[in-house]
Amino acid sequence: MKISDWTIDDSRARGCKRWGVYPSSTIDLTVAEMDFPVADPILNAVQDAVGRQAFGYPIPDADSTLPAVASRWLGAQGVSVPPQQVRLISDIIKGLTNAIRYFTAPGTPVAVITPTYSRFLDAVTAAERLIYQVPMTRTTDRYELDLDALENAFKNGSGSLILCNPVNPTGHVFTRSELTAISHLAERYRVRVFADEVHAPIRYGREFIPYSSVGSRAAEHSITFTSASKAWNIPGLRCAFIAFTNEADNRTWERIPRAAKGGISPLGMVATEAALTSGGPWLTEAIEVLRGNRDAMVDALGESGLGHIMIPPDATYLAWLDLREFELADAAEYLRDVAAVATTPGGEHGAAESGFVRVNFATPRDVLLEAVDRMTSALRATRPRGTILSEYEVASH
């Protein structure tokens, strides 16, 4: 099936969390998965596995073909790692929780660059560590890393850093200079870097540089986490992988109790291998649809006079809307109640993110534009009649 043929009714029929929580009158733009059909090679591979009743325990990493496939795929992205140092796990959050517990000194806080995926904050809590949030700064056209704030986190005892790149929810792709600066600080303060790169395949012309590739020292002090779940829309199949670019870390992983590492789905392993080997054409099509959706959203916001609330993301299918000027007690709740559009509250992504909302634009174009129209109408209604626009707002018209 072509991506453009997929409908919201098709998504509802999946019976999953997306489109399964709110009333049918509400447009749900929360859950980070796509309203797209699964790529045919993945669907065919999973259907074949179901026909073979592949419902048993997963084959061990060392006996699976997936680590070698993942090693080649990672190598093409710039992550140099041998197959035996690619380890499978059910999901990235479990991997991060284990990394914090077993690869950092007991009791050390974890630095997290915010805004970030809310489950990363949960992972730190699950590992029974304190979170040291490092908010990014916003200019008129991009989000920037605050290196001074990051160094303060390291000075104050943070033993590790969760680096989400590309950033969920802003879509920022860290530059080589940013990554190099992070690496130098990590070396100076002996900090481990846990790099989540799951959104890396979904980019709009922006170069992606894996953290471990910026130098040998970065490769030694970092661990890379990724999966096919976001790029190929298969999060429920429970399969991710960890790239240990330091051989000693791979040996440490061997010693972690098996109960902490289980839960991988054999169907997820089949789907992931199909995605990495045969899913390229589908991903190319998906990115073009997403690019069109992103640009249509930018245009619609601009036409409404609210273009300045969104910095177009360079990656991901997520938009990060700055609604602080409207001084709403809870922007997401307001949009849900007044516009019947469900968004993710900014506060879930960091303590400094109140007043923002996250929007998933991986949905049919007409649904997205209807959601934008509803949101902009509701937001403009918060302004008293006769309100004088600021120079910043006038410039955006």
Question: DSSP readout, 187-199?
Answer: HHHT-EEEEE-TT
In a domain, 379, yes or no: yes
**Per-residue pLDDT tens digits for 16-34:** 999 999 999 999 999 999 9
Written as one letter, the residue type at 95 is G
**Per-residue pLDDT tens digits for 322-331:** 999 999 999 9
Residues 326 and 214 in one domain: no
Question: Percent of the chain, pLDDT > 70?
Answer: 96
Q: Residue 236: is it exposed, middle or buried by C-beta count within 10 angstroms (0-12/13-18/19+)? A: middle
Residues 6+ apart with CB under 8 A from 10: 35, 37
Q: Of 222, 251, 278, which closes a domain?
A: 278
Q: Of 278, 296, 326, which closes a domain?
A: 278
Residues 228 and 339 in one domain: no
Residues 312 and 371 in one domain: yes
In a domain, 110, yes or no: yes
CATH of the domain at 65: 3.40.640.10
| pLDDT of the residue at 140 | 84
CATH of the domain at 330: 3.90.1150.10
Residues 333 and 199 in one domain: no
Task: Tell me the β-bridge partners of 196.
Answer: 164, 225
Residues 227 and 347 in one domain: no
Token pair 């179901």 is found at: 50
d(CA 180, CA 144): 14
Domain assignment of residue 80, given as a range: 43-278
Contact criterion met (CB below 8 Å) for 89 and 262:
no
Residues 86 and 211 in one domain: yes
Residues 106 and 167 in one domain: yes
d(CA 63, CA 83): 11
Q: Of 278, 295, 310, which closes a domain?
A: 278
In a domain, 181, yes or no: yes
Structure tokens at 298: 């930018």
Residues 297 and 153 in one domain: no
Contact criterion met (CB below 8 Å) for 319 and 296:
no
| pLDDT of the residue at 393 | 42
d(CA 32, CA 92): 14
| pLDDT of the residue at 392 | 37
In a domain, 37, yes or no: no
Residues 71 and 205 in one domain: yes
List, for the chain, all residue ranges whose pLDDT scores fall below the cut of 70. 384-397
How many Cβ atoms sit within 10 Å of the Cβ of residue 51? 8
In a domain, 38, yes or no: no
Task: Using alpha carbons only, give the angle 266, 272, 276 rounded to the nearest 5 degrees.
Answer: 150
Q: How many domains does the chain have?
A: 2
In a domain, 187, yes or no: yes
What is the b/e burial string over 252-275, where b = at least 16 CB atoms within 10 angstroms of the residue's CB? ebeeeeeeebeebbbbbbbbbbbb
d(CA 300, CA 23): 25
Residue 114 dihedral angles phi and psi, to the nearest 5°: -115, 155
Residues 145 and 131 in one domain: yes
Contact criterion met (CB below 8 Å) for 333 and 377:
no
**pTM across the whole model:** 0.94
d(CA 189, CA 211): 17
Supply the DSSP symbol for 310.
B
Residues 6+ apart with CB under 8 A from 381: 338
Residues 289 and 303 in one domain: yes
Residues 192 and 288 in one domain: no
Written as one letter, the residue type at 257 is P
